[in-house]
């Protein structure tokens, strides 16, 4: 069976958590495509040129410690705006998406660019304030919190970069189902996503 679930949306909306749960519940493979860009960003921060870092990416890069740190997240957003980086990672993502057994991919351009033929498409979003509060709570739990105002400013800046880039801007696919998690608990959001995807299986 080849069955692709594309889950797009901005940072901290819950798409990663929803995608992992979808994959686990439905027995599908899962790829957090943001990790690809974080891994490239980490290599760039280490001194590599962005396109070369993307072409040289190996699976072990996705297991590097610290890929969730704010500096790497910022670097990931910046390298993701580079067309040569996106081209280098395109085929890897497409091959994963169409693998036998089905797959869930989450990112920002899965349903629009990577897999426009995906059998199920979700766009998971939430208000910038709600997403900043979630990211801030994650930082507090990790003992590395910035002021909430600074986190909100980063969320807004990243949204502007991701939606405003010329190559593969973040947006909902025309045939995606939008799930707004601003006022949803995670179990409610997962249940809604499962209902949508099961209806397309």
Q: Rounded distance, CA 41 to CA 67, Å?
A: 9
Q: Could you read off the pLDDT of 32-50 as tens digits, one per residue?
A: 998 999 999 999 999 999 9
Predicted pLDDT of residue 142: 85
Average of per-residue pLDDT values in the chain: 94
Predicted pLDDT of residue 78: 92
Annotated binding site: 9-17
The per-residue b/e assignment along 161-197, b for 16 or more CB within 10 angstroms, e otherwise, is bbeebeebebebbeebbebbbeebeeeebbebbeebb
Q: Could you read off the pLDDT of 68-87 as tens digits, one per residue?
A: 888 998 999 899 889 999 99
Annotated binding site for ATP: 9-17
Predicted pLDDT of residue 201: 86
Q: Give the CA distances from residue 87 to residues 1, 82, 141, in Å, rounded to whole numbers and listed in that order.
A: 27, 9, 36
Predicted pLDDT of residue 69: 86
Q: Rounded distance, CA 15 to CA 194, Å?
A: 13
Q: Rounded distance, CA 148 to CA 138, Å?
A: 11
Predicted pLDDT of residue 58: 85
Angle between helices 15-26 and 186-198 (to 10 degrees): 50
Q: Which domains does the chain have, with CATH numbers?
A: 4-198 (3.40.50.300)
Contacts of 93 (CB under 8 A, 6+ apart): 31, 33, 36, 105, 107, 110, 114, 115
Across residues 117-137, what is the average pLDDT? 97
| Percent of all residues in the chain with a pLDDT value above 90, rounded to a whole number | 81
Structural contact between residues 190 and 18, judged by C-beta atoms closer than 8 angstroms: yes
Structural contact between residues 193 and 144, judged by C-beta atoms closer than 8 angstroms: no
- Residue 24 in this model has a pLDDT that exceeds 90: yes
Helices (H), the chain: 15-26, 33-45, 50-55, 70-80, 83-97, 128-142, 148-164, 186-198
Residue 5: pLDDT band (50, 70, 90) is: very high
pTM: 0.86
Q: Rounded distance, CA 135 to CA 129, Å?
A: 10
Predicted pLDDT of residue 144: 81
Residue 92: pLDDT band (50, 70, 90) is: confident
């Amino acid at each position: 069976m080849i069955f692709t679930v594309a889950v797009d949306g901005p940072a901290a909306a819950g798409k990663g958590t929803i995608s992992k749960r979808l994959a686990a519940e439905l027995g599908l493979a899962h790829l957090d495509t943001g990790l690809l860009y974080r891994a490239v960003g980490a290599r760039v921060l280490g001194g590599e040129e962005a396109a070369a870092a993307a072409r040289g990416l190996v699976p072990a890069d996705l297991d590097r410690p610290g890929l969730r740190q704010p500096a790497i997240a910022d670097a990931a957003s910046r390298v993701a705006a580079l067309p040569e980086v996106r081209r280098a990672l395109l085929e890897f993502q497409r091959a994963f998406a169409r693998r036998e057994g089905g797959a869930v991919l989450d990112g920002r351009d899965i349903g629009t660019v990577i897999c426009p033929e995906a059998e199920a498409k979700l766009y998971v979003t939430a208000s910038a304030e709600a997403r900043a509060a979630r990211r801030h709570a994650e930082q507090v739990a990790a003992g590395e919190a910035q002021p909430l105002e600074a986190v909100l400013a980063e969320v807004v800046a990243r949204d502007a970069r991701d939606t405003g880039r010329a190559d593969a801007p973040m947006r909902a696919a025309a045939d995606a189902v939008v799930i707004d998690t601003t006022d949803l608990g995670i179990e409610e959001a997962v249940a809604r996503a499962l209902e949508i995807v099961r209806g397309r299986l």
